Structure 1
Amino acid sequence: MPPIVIVGSGLAGYTLLKEIRKRDSATPVMLVTADDGTFYSKPNLSNALAAGRTAATLAGASADRLAADLNATILTRTRVTAIDPAAKRLHSDGGELEYDKLILALGADPIPHGLVGAGAPEVLAVNDLADYAVFRRAIGGRQRVAVLGGGLIGCEFANDLAHAGFEVDVVHLGDWPLERLSPAEAGQRLADSLAALGVTWHFGRTTQRIEPAADGYRLALDNGQTIATDVVLSAIGLRPRTQLARAAGIPVGRGIQTNSLLETGVANVYAMGDCAEVNGLNLPYVQPLMVQARALAATLTGVPTEVAYPAMPVMVKTPAHPVAVLPPRIGAAGSWQVECGDSGVCALHLDIRGRLQGFALTGSETGRRTTLVKALAA
C-alpha cells in the first residue's frame, strides 16, 4: 500500500507526522523535503540573537534521527516538481513517488522586495534556518541594519537587533507598526518603546533603490531621504506557496484552498500550515498550525475531524514592549475602545452591542489576555 506522503519539513509537516504517530504507529508515512530535513522552530529565528543562539544551536534533531524515532521514511534534498492526482503520484528530481493520501505543507516564500539598484541582490530575507545562517554571517562585525517592514516579523527582528547593540532603521509603509493587527495607540506604544531601545522609524515610507557604498549600502526612500546601512533585511511579508498545487489543477486563492477537513478540491490531497487557505482564511501562525495538525492526524487515521479554532491570540516577541493581539474577524462591524496607561495599552474591539470581538494589549496589559480569551470563548 502506498504511504501517506507529507511534502514539507517545516513545523507544519513535522508536527503532523508526530500527531499521526501518536494515533497510529504502523501506517507507512513518508515526508519529502527539499532541504536536509533538520527540525527547528521557525518562530525562534526572529529572537535568536537575544537568546544567544546561532543557526547551529537552533537546529534540533536530524532527519535520520526523526525517521528512526517516528518510524517514517524521510527523503531529504528531494524537490517535488509536479503532482499527478489522477495517478496519485508525485514527480520529483529524485524519481516518481506514489501516495495514498497527500498532504501539502509547503510553507510560504518572502514577498519580493521589488528594489532596484546594484545592491538589490544583496538584500536578505530570513525564512528558514539556512537563511538565518546567512544573516548571522552578514551581520558579523557590522553595526547598522535596515529592516524593511514593520509588521510582526519586522518588529521582532528590530527588537532583537537593537537589544544586541545594532543601530536599526525600520522602513514601514504604514503609519504605525502592526497596523493590520492593532489600533494606532497600541502600535505607537510599541514604536516608542523600540525607539527608546535605539530603533529609528521611517513611517509612511517605501524603499525604492539600494546602491553599494564604500561603507555599506545607501537606501533611497520615496521621499528622497537616504539611509546608510551595512545590512538590509526584508521583512515585508510572506506569500503562500501555491505553484505546485495550481499546476496540478488544485484550487488556490491566497493559499491552497481547503474545507474544514483540510481537504483540497482534489480527492486525497490535503493542505495545512502557511500554504493553506482554510475556509477562506490563511493564518500563518503557530497555534492554528497545531490545531490543524491534530485535526488532520485524526482524519488521516480514520476519525474525520474538522478544524475548530479556539480564540488564538498572537504574542509578538518584542521584550522592549510585549504585545498580544487577537484581531476581530475580517469584516466584523464594530470599533476599538482604547485605554492607555503608563505601562501599557488595552484596546478592545466591540460590536454595536458592546460584545467583545478582539483585542490588542501591550506592555503590562498583556496579562489580561487569558481573561479576555475566556470572554471571547463564552
Structure 2
Amino acid sequence: MDNSFVLKGNVCYNTTPQEVSCTANGYVVCVDGKSAGVFAELPEKYASLPLVDCGDQLIIPGMSDIHIHAPQYAFRGLGMDLELLDWLNTHTFPEEAHYADLEYAGRAYDIFANDVRRSATTRAVVFGTMHVEGTELLMDKLEQTGVVSYVGKVNMDRNGGENLEETTEASAADTRRWLADVEGKYERTMPIITPRFTPSVTDELMTQLADMAREHNLPVQSHLSENPSECGWVKELCPWSECYGDAYDHFGLLGNRTVMAHCIYSDDREVELLRASGTYVAHCPQSNAQLSSGIAPIRRYMDLGMNVGLGTDVAGGANLSMLRCMSDAVAVSKLRWRLVDDSLAALTTQEALWLATVGGGSFFGKVGSFEEGYEFDALVLDDSAIATPRDLDVWERVERYVYLAEEGGKIARKYVRGCEISLD
C-alpha cells in the first residue's frame, strides 16, 4: 500500500474544540495517505506496516495557516509602528510592485517556500500579487515543498497606488489567463480567487471574479472588517451595502469555500451573513495587535458554530509560526475578556490547537485530526531540549511546546497526505 505506515510516540489531537485525546507511547496509523486511527496497542492487521519509532517525541496533526501573504515575507518584522492603511501604502504596496521583476520574485519566493517547508504549516491559503508570472512562480515553488496550498493572483483595479493597480479589463483578463495556465498543472497547489479587499476592487471586477469562481468551481479569499478606517472607507465606496460583508455577499462571494480574514468589527448582520453562509473566518491575532486593528470576538464565532481557523498574516504577523499564532490567539482573547467584553470567555490552549488543526484544516476537507478517514498530516515534535525538573503528561508537554518551542523545540518529522516532507 502506498503512503502506509505507523508512527509510534506520544499522540495528541482534538476530539472536540474543547477536548484533546492523548495516548502515551501510542500508535497512529496511516493507510494510503489517510489516518486509520490512534491505538494504545497496534492492531494485528497493521502489524506488517513499516513502523517509525519516534521514541518519546510528541505527535500532533499538521497545522493549516489559512491567511498569509507570500510577497510580504520579504519585509516581515518591519513597519509595525503603523496602522493598517498607512502600513499598506508605506510598506506593502511598494514591496508588492517589485514582483513584476521575476528575478526578485524568485529570490523572495525561494526564501518563503523554504521557510514554509521547515515550519509547522502543512496547509496554507496564500495571497500572491497581481502579477500572473510571479504568482505562477510562487505556485511552482510551493508545489516543490510538499505542502498543500491554495494560492491567489491578487486583483485590485482601484486604490493600489503607483505600479500596483490594474484596469478592470486587464485584471479580469489576466486572471482568466492565469487560471488557464495553472489548470491541471499541480498535485498540491490550487488556485483561489483573490479580490484583495473591497477598497481595491470595483463592483464591476467583483462581478467578474464571482463569475470566474462559479465557472471554475473555485474558492475565494479576501479581507473583511479588519480596521475601523477600512470599514468607514467601504461605507463610502459601497453606499448601497448594508454592511461590509454585504459588499461581498451581493456578488455571491461568501460561502463555505470562502476565507475572510480578520472580521474584528463585524456587526450582528455581518456575523449572521458569515454564519449562515458557512464562510471561514481567518483569525490573525498577531497581525491584529501589531497593526493596532483590534481583537476579533472568536469566542462568539465559535459559540455560534461558525467556521474559524488561524492565520499568521505575514507580514502583519511577523513570522510563520503557527505555534506563536496559537499562543497569541489565547493571549488576545484574555485581553478582550478583561478589557472589552467579559461575557466572552478567553480561549483555552486546547481550543487554539483545534483552530490551528481541525478549524482551519476543514477548509481543505477532512484535515487536521487523527480520527479515521482524515488525510494524514502530522508533526513529530522533539521537546527534549526544553528543560524542566517536572514529570509532565502528554498534554502538558504539547501545551508547553506551544509556548516554548523557540527555547529548544524541534520539528523532527513532518507529513502531508502521508508523504514525509524533507526538513533539511
| TM range, smaller chain | under 0.3
TM-score, with structure 2 as normaliser: 0.23
Higher helix share: 2
TM-score, with structure 1 as normaliser: 0.25
Higher strand share: 1
